[in-house]
Every structure is written in C-alpha cells, then in structure tokens.
Chain A
C-alpha cells in the first residue's frame, strides 16, 4: 500500500476492483465505511460477482474476469477525452512530457521488438530520447507528437465505451457511470483510492492490471495524497514482510537483486546500478545501492566479507534464469530434476495451480520437509482420501519429515502489514507438545549442516562456514538479536564524511536509520529499508502511542513503518509545485520556504526545493512513469490480452492467445482448454469466514462455512438442470472436482462480443484435512501459467465445464 489502512477514511471515492476488501480484509474495510459515514465518500465495486463488498457499495458494475486493462484504459481515454486530468500534477509529476525514441511503436497488439520464438521483446526502443547533456528530453507543452502523453492518448484511443462493453461485458451505461465518478477525482480536492488484491495480480497480465490503475491514479493526481494511492491489500499477515526481507528467488533483502550469472563479478553487477539521474538535480535514491548491498553482505558474512573479496560477492548464488519461481521449480520437479523440498508454513498441494501436476511432482521428490503448526494436505499428499486425494500411496517413494512449529500466539517478533507498519508482538501461550519455534528449527538445520561441513568438507563450504551466526544462544537466535541485525550497526566508528572529527556512531552501536549506511564495509544491515526499526532508542516496532494530531490517520508514534517511519509514500506529491497542499484540508506535508514539514515524514530530502526536486525520488527521472520504459516485460503501456483460457477470442487481435510474453512450459500448453469444450469462465476467491487453508482446522470457522461449494447464476443453473444445494461436477482440461451448488442472483451472465458468458465462482478453502467437511478447492482446475513479469499464476480466469452429479466418495 502507498497509504495506510487508517488513511482510507480520508477518501472521497473508494474503488474496489481486483479485490473484495469487505470479504478478505473486513477490519481494514472499516475505514471505507468510515469514509462513507463521515466524509460522504462513495464506494464503487467492479467485479464479476456481486460480492459482500458490493452489498454495501454505492455503485456496482459487473466485469468479465481478465479484462480489467480494457476497462481501465477505457477510463483513461474517458478522462483524456473529457479533460478530466489533474494537469499540473500530470505535467510535473509524471513523464507525460518525456520524448520517446522514434523506434518505439505499437501495432496489431504488439509493441516493437517482438520475437515470437523467444516469446520476448527486444526492449531497446522503449526508452526516452536522451539529449546531449545526458538527460531525457522533455516538452512541457505536451505538444510534441512523440511525447509520452500523445503516445498514451493514441494507445488508449481504441478503448471506447462500446469496445469496453464488447470485451468486458460491462454494459455501456454502467461503464460510463463508473468512468464519470472516477473522472471527478481529477479535481485537486477530490481523492480516489484504489483497493486491490489478488483479483488483479493472479492473471497472466497481473502486473499490467495494477499498472493501468496506477496510471489512472497519476493522471487524476491521486498518488501521494491523503485518501488516495494504490493500495495492495495483500494476503497474509507478513506477506509484505517476507517480500521486504527478500524471500523470493530473484531478490536480496530490501528489493536488491540476486545477481545473474551475466553479472560475472561485483563491478559488473554494480555497472548497471549507477542510477544516474535522468533529469537535472533529481534525487534518484537508488544511487545508494552499493551502500545497501555491501551492508547486507556484511550482515551475512561479517569479517569474511572484505573489500578484497568484493564483500563476498561470490558467496551469493547467481541465477541463470530470471527466477526459480514456484512454477519453474515444480516444472523441474516434474521433470525429475529436484530431490528435496522444504515447505515452511506453506501448503502447495492446495495453493498451487494444477494440483494433479503438483502431486505428481511431489511424488518424484526423494524427500520433503514440512514445517507447520497444522497437519497440511502437503505433508499428507501421499495419503489416500478417496475422491478427495486419490493417490497410490505405496508407489510414492518420497520421504516426508513433518516438523511441528509454534504459531503466532506462542512467539515473539514483528510482522509487516500492507501499510508497511512493522508491529511487534509477544508470546502468550505455551506451545503444544514438542512444537518448536521456526528460529530454533532454522538454527538447528544450519548448525547441524555447518557441523557436517566442518567435519567432512564438501562443495564450496565457505558461505556456510563463514555465515555470521554470533548469537548469544546459537541454537536459537532471539527475535531481538535478529531485529537489531536487520536494523544494522556500525562495525567501526563512523565519522561525519564532511568533518572526520565528528563521531556519528560508535563502533558496535545500532544505526539510527539507513542514512548512516556506508559502502566501505564499516556498516552492516540485514535489510536496509527496515533500518530504524530497532536502534539505540529501542524497539520502535513496539511503540504504542496512538495519538493522531488533527486526526489525519497517520499515527506516527504507533510502531514503525518503513521507510524511515513514513506512512504515505510519495507524500511530497500531495503538494503543488510551490510546496502548498493541493487540498489544504488534507495536508500531509508543506514547504515553508526552507524545509518540508507536516503530519508525516517527508518523502523527499527535508530541504529539497519543491521546484527543483521531483516527488518520485526512487526513479531516476524524479517523476512517475506513465510510460514504463523497458521495465515491464510485456510493454511500456498496458494492452488488453485475454487470459490463456478465454470464453471469447481477443476482440482486438484474435490471433494473440494470452499475454504474448508470458512464459509457458510446453507440457502445460497441452493442458490449456478452449471454449468449445469448456464454455464457462471460472474464477477462484476467498470467503470471509475462512483464511486460506488454515481456518478449516478451526471448528468455529468450519461451522460458519462448513462445506465446499461453487457459485453459479440462476440462468446457468436452469440451463444445466442444477439445483440449489445439489452436487455438481466442475472440470477443466486439468482436473475435476465435485461441489455443492450455490445458485445465486449475485452472478449474472455477461454479454461479451455478442456472446453470453457464464461465470463459475469457486472459493478456495477446503481440502482433506481439518475440521470442515472434506472438499476440493479450485486448484485442481487452475492453469499452470503465470504473469509475464512475476509469474503469479493465473488463478482468476480459466475455463471449465459443469454438470449435476452425485456426492463424492471419500475417506
């Protein structure tokens, strides 16, 4: 989230699209009801289903899943056509004025540089014209035909309301009503917020779904302001934290990158990470990359990371592919190329697409280790449960080691919420049986492996033998020790670079925040963006002062938010070119002639002059990007592509199937279904009574929503002879499930390009373990293909067939 949950109360228009906040985030949704009750805010819901969020919305518009880009490009076009643009913001705070290279273009649904065999683009033409001074060329009048604004105008011109209706199935009048309500927020004193979640990410064009709304929010002037922003609601309690700490194949902590093998050494790695400003005087904060990287290496390997060995650059693994994401590793597993796998609090049998492939792949492992507070379907994947898990146990040669862990109530530490608040919690209960904390388990695995390497030697033991592990009790590092290591400390005494007589930090002391990091090995920090979380002032994540001066919703003294306790990202954009708030009633920070101050930590150097330094300090341009340059694999502008399984062909370019650069494995292509065989558009989602596959273990939640079901319209039920509460079979090219039928008015057929598209809704919370009735969930059916940029599977749009049936047989 750019903003905080508590900030949503400041909004005038809440748009829930690509999410279902009332259902999946009820207590965060409270702030929507606050905005409605106290500001007179309006709520719009755009969704294939009339959801619980829609039940309290002021306006609901249906949309076919997987067509959000067409809808939002249509809204951008509407805003441009009707002069509903926050012009001063758009001109000064986006790259609308930047001139794009002549080579760049878009034709027949593809951008320049497409290579069909590689399913990839040569993106070299997707960039700005750079002037002789080394800076990007701009035309602040927006008259230049090759400026981003004019290219954007042309790009969205095909998304007329009629085209939106054809693609999305949203009736034209409903689309126009939504567009009109959104466009009103181009006023500097009207702010719209976007609340989205997996309804946007879980598509082969997921990243671009989100980007399209971000672009709309920029031209409406709604980023960086109170009650605005792009707010990813996020799923798990610490999914934000695990992303920040970098537990993803391609990341180091703090959004640094794991090197690729093309980055043969540290100088090469750093050569593309200079982040020179693209406009004069811009901050381009990533210029500090080396400080963050070196400090991380020092946290990992301490004294073994030296300037001489490039701070142990070679200790890091180097990637030969963009990422060993979960789809790739299961593809490799299926090919017999993986021997062992760890699932720490994760249940891939139910959570990953194409369950048949997942189970087959796990069956090819030599060993599987699960660490979980609960019995999971993954740790029991080899167990036969009749129709619910129809496996041949004896033939599965995988050894499974199931380790019992503690749960939240029995452990201490911090969790990062979607608003980037890092909150500390304390243990309250004793663990059951012999359950152990994950820190202890990870410590044990590490110490035992290190001991084996010490005794026996083996393959490149250095990174293991030299891993910094100097905890008071090495058997189990404490949360406090780890938090301090994440924050970072001075290894040697730090003096002021401009005045060496001034001592900034004594050796061994904790750093105040990441501004003190150095690239010479004199500082360490496990995750630079978290620096400041636990410094010499103490544990800032445990702060509990809930005062909120002038009720802005900032709560600056409640816990700690990254970065630097900043609550609203890009908050400098809440003020105009002179540093005065666009909306004085919703000031965040203000320029007083010499410095920035206000209710939040300024997202700019406190003395940076408003006319000189742009608000988007992480970008080399200092402004935000309507044109993404080469940073997105599938295009610098978002274009509509159908899901890989679609009920109607791509209206704009019928020959293109799915996202043209999304990675597909050959074996999976064979398992994509088509509309003739699988005519219904399915989607998967959460219900408010349950959390993923956890709460089915809880008898209370199991009682509130006991049994797996699918939702269909009354029209489809009638057509197929399906009765309310009766059993149905739903199948895709990849699998078949049985469920109870909820026949509802909340799902209606959508008219798309002259064809009635029926939606089948499949909630995800059931399996064969736990207190609730046994069931299947959607992922026996979902396709094994991910988003073109980050490989998040396309869970939200796929094809199925459906028929009445009898109850499953299971044990």
Chain B
C-alpha cells in the first residue's frame, strides 16, 4: 500500500526508457493502490481538558491543557497539548511564542525530578531523599537562627531580626503559595526577603 519510492528509485525506473514505461513498471501499481486522501486524526479526541493560566508574563492568558489521564480523579496524567482559551477575555484564545510552546516547557529535558545535594567543594550533585534534604535544611536553619538571631537592639528594643539567612521568593507561584511562604519566612524573623518585583 505504502509507496516506498524515493526520487532515486523513481528515476531509476524512469531510466528504463520511454517506450516501455507503464505505470506498473514504475512501481506505482494502479492508481487506486495509493493511500486515500486523509487528514491526520484529531489528536485531542478523548483527552482531558483543564483550564489554567499561562505561567510566563502577567498578561495571564487563559490556557487549555489537554492530558491523557485526569489528575483530579487521582489518575496519572500526561500533558499532550496546550493551547489558548478562546473564552478568556484577555487573550481570546491567542498565545505568544512562549505560551504556545508551554507543553515543551512542562516536559523540558532539564525539569528536576529528585532532591539533590552538592556537598561543599565537590563537583557533582548527589541524589537525596526528601527526608534527608528537608531535615538537613531545618537543622541548618535552626542552628543559624539560634546563633545569629538578634532579639533586641543595643537600646533594648525587641527587633527579632534574623539577617544571616535570606529568602528570595518566586514570582510565578500562586498567591496561596506566596502567603504560605510569607508566614514561614516572616515568623522566623527573616528580613532579607524579596521577590522578582525588586529587580
């Protein structure tokens, strides 16, 4: 069925000469043997559609994410396509070159999968468990806070400042994550706390 003919073989056949040429000898078989005209099957059929917001700039375009599987039903879901949400008043279904390629950001080869630790002076990351990484962080924080926390200034005023550790927050996380982050960072007394808005 599939006409596996290259230009070269086509020309080789052609080289047989004009007089003897028939379609059969050219390798086409009869015309009906060629694959019928068809368009590609529509690839979003039977996918799950989820509404989301583009993660890049602050126009905040509405997007539709198509996946195989439904995370909200507890299934494993693989994102297969992303395009603009035509119902969204701002972008009306359009997307920029970044937004239109979001699927390949989600699946970027350099996405992180596991906690990793690079020990002082070494030249590589080593895989760690979440417990190892988080216990280590909590310990490092507590030890530093206990050692360097400024409870009162020289005038005896409570200032409750922790200046030897800083926290740079994301600017693409949700408001809810931002708020949870705020609570954790401020309650510890961290003052060097900024986000991308500063720069």
B198 within 8 A of A: yes
Q: Which A residues are CB-close (under 8 A) to B175? A: 238, 241-242, 244-245, 413-416, 422, 482-483, 486, 527, 530
User: In B144-194, which residues have CB < 8 Å from any A CB?
Assistant: 144-146, 148-149, 151, 153, 157-184, 186-194
A397 within 8 A of B: yes
Given A237-B55, A433-B113, answer yes or no on A352-B199 (Cβ-Cβ < 8 Å).
Answer: yes
Tell me the bound Cα distance from A695 to B144 in angstroms: 36
Tell me the bound Cα distance from A345 to B177 in angstroms: 12
Contact A30 B163 (CB under 8 A): no
Chain B: which residue is nearest A433 at the CB level? B113
Tell me the bound Cα distance from A458 to B118 in angstroms: 28
User: In B107-133, which residues have CB < 8 Å from any A CB?
Assistant: 108-123, 125, 128, 130, 133
A28 within 8 A of B: yes
Q: Which B residues are CB-close (under 8 A) to A458? A: 142, 145-146
A326 within 8 A of B: yes
Contact A405 B112 (CB under 8 A): yes
Q: Which B residues are CB-close (under 8 A) to A527? A: 175, 179
Tell me the bound Cα distance from A696 to B166 in angstroms: 27
Contact B182 A245 (CB under 8 A): yes
Given A237-B55, A249-B191, A320-B161, answer yes or no on A467-B135 (Cβ-Cβ < 8 Å).
Answer: no
Contact B89 A236 (CB under 8 A): no
Q: Which B residues are CB-close (under 8 A) to A413? A: 173-177
Contact B192 A338 (CB under 8 A): yes
Most chain B CB atoms below 10 A, which of A317, A339, A442 = A317
Tell me the bound Cα distance from A691 to B59 in angstroms: 13
Q: Which B residues are CB-close (under 8 A) to A394? A: 121, 123
Contact A314 B160 (CB under 8 A): yes
Instruction: Mark A1-44 against chain B: 1 for CB-CB distance below 8 A, else 0.
Output: 00011100000000000000000111110100000000000000
Contact A428 B108 (CB under 8 A): no
Q: Which A residues are CB-close (under 8 A) to B180? A: 438-439, 442-443, 477, 482
Contact A429 B71 (CB under 8 A): yes
Tell me the bound Cα distance from A428 to B107 in angstroms: 13
**A440 smallest CB distance to B (angstroms):** 9
Tell me the bound Cα distance from A367 to B97 in angstroms: 37
Given A314-B160, A698-B105, answer yes or no on A485-B179 (Cβ-Cβ < 8 Å).
Answer: yes
Contact B167 A429 (CB under 8 A): no
Instruction: Mark B43-57 against chain A: 1 for CB-CB distance below 8 A, else 0.
Output: 000001011111111
A275 within 8 A of B: no
A675 within 8 A of B: no
Tell me the bound Cα distance from A770 to B181 in angstroms: 28
A726 within 8 A of B: no
Most chain A CB atoms below 10 A, which of B54, B118, B164 = B118
**A98 smallest CB distance to B (angstroms):** 31
**A353 smallest CB distance to B (angstroms):** 8
Stretch at the interface among B3-11, B15-23, B25-33, B74-82: B74-82
Tell me the bound Cα distance from A456 to B139 in angstroms: 11
User: In A522-578, which residues have CB < 8 Å from any B CB?
Assistant: 526-527, 530, 544, 546, 548, 555, 558
Most chain A CB atoms below 10 A, which of B52, B69, B113 = B52
Given A6-B89, A237-B172, A374-B111, answer yes or no on A399-B199 (Cβ-Cβ < 8 Å).
Answer: no
Q: Which A residues are CB-close (under 8 A) to B136? A: 401
Tell me the bound Cα distance from A690 to B54 in angstroms: 14
Chain B: which residue is nearest A526 at the CB level? B179
Cβ 8 A contact of A27, one of B59, B122, B161, B181:
B59
A393 within 8 A of B: yes
Tell me the bound Cα distance from A382 to B173 in angstroms: 26
Contact B123 A383 (CB under 8 A): yes
Contact A315 B160 (CB under 8 A): yes
A253 within 8 A of B: yes
Cβ 8 A contact of A426, one of B51, B128, B153:
B51
Contact A771 B108 (CB under 8 A): yes
Cβ 8 A contact of B188, one of A439, A463, A699:
A463
Given A249-B191, A428-B71, A546-B89, answer yes or no on A344-B181 (Cβ-Cβ < 8 Å).
Answer: yes
Tell me the bound Cα distance from A235 to B188 in angstroms: 29
Given A235-B58, A341-B165, answer yes or no on A300-B187 (Cβ-Cβ < 8 Å).
Answer: yes
Tell me the bound Cα distance from A441 to B89 in angstroms: 34
Q: Which A residues are CB-close (under 8 A) to B195? A: 239, 242-243, 247-248, 346
Given A409-B52, A435-B112, A438-B173, answer yes or no on A382-B146 (Cβ-Cβ < 8 Å).
Answer: no
Q: Which A residues are CB-close (under 8 A) to B161? A: 317-320
A444 within 8 A of B: yes
Contact A237 B194 (CB under 8 A): no
Tell me the bound Cα distance from A410 to B130 in angstroms: 19
**A807 smallest CB distance to B (angstroms):** 23
A449 within 8 A of B: yes
Q: Which B residues are CB-close (under 8 A) to A548? A: 89
B34 within 8 A of A: no
A157 within 8 A of B: no
Chain A: which residue is nearest B136 at the CB level? A401
A658 within 8 A of B: no
Q: Which B residues are CB-close (under 8 A) to A371? A: 170
B14 within 8 A of A: no
Chain A: which residue is nearest B107 at the CB level? A432
Given A27-B95, A414-B175, answer yes or no on A403-B133 (Cβ-Cβ < 8 Å).
Answer: yes
Contact A409 B196 (CB under 8 A): no
Given A245-B179, A346-B170, A452-B142, answer yes or no on A339-B113 (Cβ-Cβ < 8 Å).
Answer: no
Chain A: which residue is nearest B181 at the CB level? A442
Cβ 8 A contact of B149, one of A396, A434, A459, A699:
A459
Cβ 8 A contact of B184, one of A338, A398, A442:
A442
Q: Which A residues are CB-close (under 8 A) to B92? A: 30
Chain B: which residue is nearest A371 at the CB level? B170
B12 within 8 A of A: no
Q: Which B residues are CB-close (under 8 A) to A326? A: 168, 194, 198-199
**A402 smallest CB distance to B (angstroms):** 4
Instruction: Mark A224-268 against chain B: 1 for CB-CB distance below 8 A, else 0.
Output: 000000000111111111111111110001000010010010000
Q: Which A residues are CB-close (under 8 A) to B104? A: 698-701
Q: Which B residues are CB-close (under 8 A) to A248? A: 193-195, 197-198
Contact B182 A239 (CB under 8 A): no
Tell me the bound Cα distance from A733 to B107 in angstroms: 39
B13 within 8 A of A: no
B140 within 8 A of A: yes
Contact B170 A242 (CB under 8 A): yes
Chain B: which residue is nearest A457 at the CB level? B146
Q: Which B residues are CB-close (under 8 A) to A415? A: 53, 60, 172, 174-175
Contact B159 A261 (CB under 8 A): yes
Contact A697 B110 (CB under 8 A): yes
Q: Which B residues are CB-close (under 8 A) to A460? A: 149, 151, 160, 189
Can you identify 26 A-B contacts, CB atoms within 8 angstroms?
Answer: A27-B99, A238-B172, A239-B195, A246-B182, A315-B160, A320-B161, A337-B164, A341-B167, A346-B168, A399-B119, A404-B111, A408-B172, A409-B102, A411-B177, A412-B174, A413-B175, A413-B177, A417-B60, A422-B175, A425-B51, A429-B67, A430-B77, A441-B134, A449-B141, A482-B176, A701-B98
Enumerate the 5 nearest inter-chain pairs by beta-carbon distance, A residue then B residue, closest first: A433-B113, A413-B174, A345-B170, A417-B60, A404-B112
Seen from chain B, the residues whose Cβ lies within 8 Å of a Cβ on chain A are 48, 50-62, 65-67, 69, 71-72, 76-79, 82, 84, 87-92, 94-99, 101-102, 104-106, 108-123, 125, 128, 130, 133-142, 144-146, 148-149, 151, 153, 157-184, 186-199
Known A27-B59, A689-B97; 11 more pairs at CB < 8 Å: A27-B99, A237-B57, A366-B140, A394-B121, A394-B123, A400-B117, A417-B60, A429-B78, A443-B180, A445-B137, A699-B109
